[in-house]
């Protein structure tokens, strides 16, 4: 089946004009998605094309600035050869296109055959007091977040016929660290240690570039408590069963859609 992820990118240009791009991405688990994001951050701060040092084109007095479309393109992932690409203009203040709303990211996440999560990025162009585009370090405000796909919202048990969904897909905004660890799912201590160091390095760069990470700080505890409750219940129900015998998922654990709403 493969590991399938997606990037949901919103760019705010001013004058209540925005664009939304949904990018399907194969094999984007673990540190891959944060790595792709950090490449865009570094290209913004340190462009390889040195002719862009001033970020101006034309007459400096007119302050003609390179369009925001030049930055955070996620090319070539965002080219038309990829599947499930949505690219459209929207009103900035349209609540139906606010990617930080649960129902919006769920709607976009389910447009793809996504089973391993979603990275959300919002980029806003900044303007000075005279209404002119800012330049250099103040030119853009950036936010990033992550949500889990269908494989990461579930837990398994040796006596169950199928997995149990602990929470709905794409609903909870998770931290970068939780996203990396859950999507890669390695139990090797050295791999986990390396992954945590990687996330720490990403966050250091994000702090230096004033990039905001958006996630539900209380949601992880709620997830862990529910997960432990379910496992305790299944252990109690199956403690006397021999190896290889499985039971159906109890009805009380079959509905998760109203959680975290």
pLDDT, tens digit only, all 261 positions of the chain: 468 899 999 999 888 999 999 999 888 899 999 999 999 999 888 877 666 544 544 444 455 555 667 789 998 898 877 777 889 999 999 999 999 999 999 999 999 888 899 999 999 988 888 777 776 667 889 999 999 999 999 988 999 988 899 999 999 999 999 999 999 888 888 989 999 999 999 999 999 999 999 999 999 999 999 999 999 999 999 999 999 998 888 888 877 645 544
Whole-number Å distance between alpha carbons of 147 and 255: 19
Q: How high is the pLDDT of residue 135? A: 67
**Strand residue runs (E) in 111-186:** 118-125, 140-147, 154-155, 164-165, 173-174
For residues 115 and 1, the answer to whether their CB atoms sit within 8 Å is yes
Which pTM was predicted?
Answer: 0.89
For residues 116 and 4, the answer to whether their CB atoms sit within 8 Å is yes
Nearest Cα to 23, choosing from 37, 34, 9? Answer: 9
Nearest Cα to 146, choosing from 13, 34, 12? Answer: 34
């Amino acid at each position: 089946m493969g590991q399938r992820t997606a990037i949901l990118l919103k760019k705010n240009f001013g004058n209540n004009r925005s664009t939304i791009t949904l990018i399907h991405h194969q094999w984007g688990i673990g540190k891959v998605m944060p790595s792709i994001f950090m490449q865009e951050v570094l290209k913004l701060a340190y462009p390889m094309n040195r002719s862009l040092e001033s970020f101006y084109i034309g007459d400096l007095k007119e302050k003609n600035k390179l369009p925001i479309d030049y930055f955070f393109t996620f090319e070539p992932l965002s080219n038309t050869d990829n599947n499930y690409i949505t690219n459209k203009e929207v009103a900035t203040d349209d609540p139906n296109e606010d990617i930080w709303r649960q129902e919006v990211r769920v709607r976009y996440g389910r447009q793809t055959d996504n089973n391993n999560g979603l990275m959300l990025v919002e980029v806003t162009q900044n303007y000075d007091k005279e209404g002119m585009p800012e330049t250099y370090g103040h030119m853009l405000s950036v936010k990033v977040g992550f949500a889990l796909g269908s494989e990461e919202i579930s837990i398994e048990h040796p006596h169950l016929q199928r997995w149990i969904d602990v929470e709905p897909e794409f609903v909870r905004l998770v931290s970068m660290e939780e996203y990396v660890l859950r999507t890669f799912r390695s139990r090797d201590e050295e791999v986990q240690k390396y992954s945590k160091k990687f996330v720490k390095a990403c966050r250091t760069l994000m702090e230096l570039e004033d990039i905001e990470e958006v996630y539900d700080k209380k949601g992880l505890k709620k997830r862990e408590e529910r997960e432990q409750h379910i496992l305790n219940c299944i252990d109690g129900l199956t403690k006397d069963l021999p190896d290889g015998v499985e039971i159906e998922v109890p009805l009380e654990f079959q509905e998760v859609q109203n959680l975290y709403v």
